[in-house]
């Protein structure tokens, strides 16, 4: 009942799972400042207690005692100073967000906002402002002649604000540098792989499905989505345990990051206990919302890197595009190292309970590099960097994936118009193709590609 009274902007946090709520709150600008404001109120209470109740001036040297009128003037002056620094910081933040949105990707705004350094800087400014404001309110009409804690802490707050302002400007300009942006995107995706996907999935994956209860598949039950939106989060652990208790196998018809409409098939299930299953129970384990989130969606991080490269190509900034491609290749190594490409999730009895949509390393290669090569099809320099990155990946991963990498690279250069490419562009492109061919064992195929660019009369 109380939830209905709250505005929608606050009510949504109570309707989320604990994990989603924590993630969403960390992606907002008010979360950390609210903590600092609460801490500043406690500081106000402690400071006023020291000066008004404990009478700290009786126990300190007269050098530290400051007249009440001077203290009031000092606090009132610093209110305006801290507020001015806060305004400049907010203006700088808006400039950074506008630049990110226009030059790189609007999806990167949340990454800067969620950065701990950004959050702490805004929190310090808001906390310090609230502190001096409340202190000024309570010392305005006091009869005490001297203060010690109030002026000392207030000056310390002003000094902290000035240092934080310089730090924030340096942080913003550093974060906007291309190599830092792409590295931040790569680290964010690696965090999803290491902390989320491995924890949620890898401990349950199995290569051999074993008994899939085929005898019960004729009576398969279908469950549709209860609302339209993006599949944001799946509680795999709870789903596996509940499927074990119900003695069923759950198969997904959509994956995290997919957009589905209300009524679209979301999951199916079968098994000995399928007739007594509570469908709503499994629907509650799958969060569907109006936007994509990065909690379990590795593709979103890849899309951000790809968008940086695409925007850079359209802005005639090939170096940024190359940097994004290189970071993407690093991310592919992490995918290959930590993700097992099997759709089967088993319970503690080693019985498959959840079947996901099948994915492969080729799928991630396409998601990572496919968009870039589409928009860079006429830019031979970017294509050369892309093929070179694929060659580097081939040198670092298992040979079982070499064939797929070679096919992707060949398909990429098939659409290059040989008549309009410059001579040196041909030379450097063929060098990367040859390096990939030697690694993947396609030396003979490379000669055919070479003849395309240098036909023999």
Task: Give the pLDDT score at 35.
Answer: 92
**Rounded to the nearest 5°, which phi and psi values hold at 265?**
-65, 125
Does the pTM surpass 0.85? The reply is no
Task: Give the pLDDT score at 378.
Answer: 80
Alpha helices (runs of H) in 247-292, residue ranges in sequence order: 279-284
Q: Which three-class secondary structure state does DSSP give residue 397? A: coil
Query: Taking a C-beta distance cutoff of 8 angstroms, is the pair 321, 312 a contact?
Result: yes
How far apart (Å, rounded) are the C-alpha atoms in residues 416 and 377?
Answer: 7
Task: Give the pLDDT score at 19.
Answer: 67
Task: Give the pLDDT score at 221.
Answer: 94
Task: Give the pLDDT score at 260.
Answer: 94
In the block, tokens 């997904």 appear at 252
Closest CA to 243 of 219, 272, 264: 272
| pLDDT digits 0-9 by tens, 87-113 | 888 787 777 777 766 667 666 777 777
- Beta partners for residue 223, in sequence order: 267
Q: Which three-class secondary structure state does DSSP give residue 61? A: coil
For the chain, the helix, strand and coil percentages under 3-state DSSP, each to the nearest 5: 70, 10, 25
Task: Give the pLDDT score at 27.
Answer: 72
Structure-token pair, residue 399:
């040979």
Q: Which three-class secondary structure state does DSSP give residue 375? A: helix
Structure-token pair, residue 121:
């800087």
pLDDT means over runs of 10, the chain (457 residues): 61 67 73 91 91 80 80 86 83 75 69 83 90 87 80 90 90 80 79 72 84 89 93 90 94 92 94 90 90 80 86 85 91 82 88 90 89 87 93 92 93 78 88 94 90 77
Count other C-beta atoms under 10 Å from residue 26's C-beta: 15
| Axis-axis angle for helices 402-413, 380-396 (nearest 10) | 170
Query: Taking a C-beta distance cutoff of 8 angstroms, is the pair 442, 408 a contact?
Result: no
Query: Taking a C-beta distance cutoff of 8 angstroms, is the pair 245, 278 a contact?
Result: no
Beta strands in 87-167 (DSSP E): 146-147
Task: Give the pLDDT score at 300.
Answer: 81
How far apart (Å, rounded) are the C-alpha atoms in residues 174 and 96?
Answer: 11
In the block, tokens 């924030």 appear at 168
How far apart (Å, rounded) are the C-alpha atoms in residues 47 and 345?
Answer: 57
- Give Rg (Cα) of the chain: 29
Query: Taking a C-beta distance cutoff of 8 angstroms, is the pair 225, 332 a contact?
Result: no
């Amino acid at each position: 009942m109380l939830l209905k009274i709250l505005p929608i902007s606050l009510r949504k946090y109570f309707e989320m799972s604990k994990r989603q709520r924590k993630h969403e709150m960390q992606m907002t600008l008010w979360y950390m400042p609210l903590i600092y404001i609460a801490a500043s109120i406690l500081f106000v209470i402690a400071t006023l207690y020291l000066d008004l109740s404990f009478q700290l001036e009786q126990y300190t040297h007269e050098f530290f005692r400051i007249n009440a009128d001077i203290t009031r003037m000092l606090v009132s002056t610093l209110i305006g100073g801290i507020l001015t620094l806060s305004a400049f910081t907010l203006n700088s933040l808006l400039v950074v967000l506008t630049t990110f949105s226009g030059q790189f990707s609007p999806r990167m705004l949340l990454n800067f906002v969620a950065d701990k350094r950004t959050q702490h800087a805004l929190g310090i400014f808001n906390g310090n402002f609230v502190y001096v404001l409340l202190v000024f309110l309570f010392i305005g009409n006091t009869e005490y002649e001297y203060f010690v804690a109030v002026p000392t802490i207030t000056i310390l707050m002003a000094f902290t604000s000035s240092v934080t302002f310089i730090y924030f400007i340096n942080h913003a300009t550093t974060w906007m540098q291309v190599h830092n942006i792409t590295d931040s995107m790569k680290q964010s995706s690696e965090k999803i792989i290491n902390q989320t996907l491995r924890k949620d999935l890898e401990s349950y994956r199995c290569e051999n499905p074993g008994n899939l209860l085929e005898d019960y598949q004729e009576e398969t039950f279908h469950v549709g989505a209860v609302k339209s939106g993006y599949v944001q989060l799946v509680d795999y652990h709870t789903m596996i345990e509940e499927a074990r208790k119900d003695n069923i196998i759950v198969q997904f018809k959509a994956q995290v990051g997919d957009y589905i409409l209300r009524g679209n098939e979301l999951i199916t299930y079968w098994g000995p206990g399928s007739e007594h299953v509570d469908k709503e129970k499994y629907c509650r384990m799958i969060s569907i919302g109006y936007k994509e989130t990065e909690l379990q969606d590795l593709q979103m991080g890849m899309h951000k890197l790809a968008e940086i490269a695409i925007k850079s190509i359209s802005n005639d900034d090939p170096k940024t595009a190359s940097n994004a491609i290189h970071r993407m290749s690093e991310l592919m190594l992490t995918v290959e190292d930590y993700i097992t490409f099997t759709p089967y999730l088993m319970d503690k009895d080693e019985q498959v309970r959840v079947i996901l949509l099948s994915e492969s390393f080729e799928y991630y290669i396409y998601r990572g590099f496919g968009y870039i090569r589409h928009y860079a099809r006429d830019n031979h320099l970017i294509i050369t960097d892309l093929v070179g990155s694929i060659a580097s990946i081939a040198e670092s991963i298992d040979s079982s994936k070499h064939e797929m990498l070679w096919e992707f690279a060949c398909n990429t250069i098939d659409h290059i118009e040989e008549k309009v490419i410059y001579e040196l562009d041909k030379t450097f492109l063929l060098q990367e193709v040859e390096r990939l061919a030697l690694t993947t064992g396609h030396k003979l195929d490379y000669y055919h590609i070479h003849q395309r660019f240098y036909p023999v009369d």
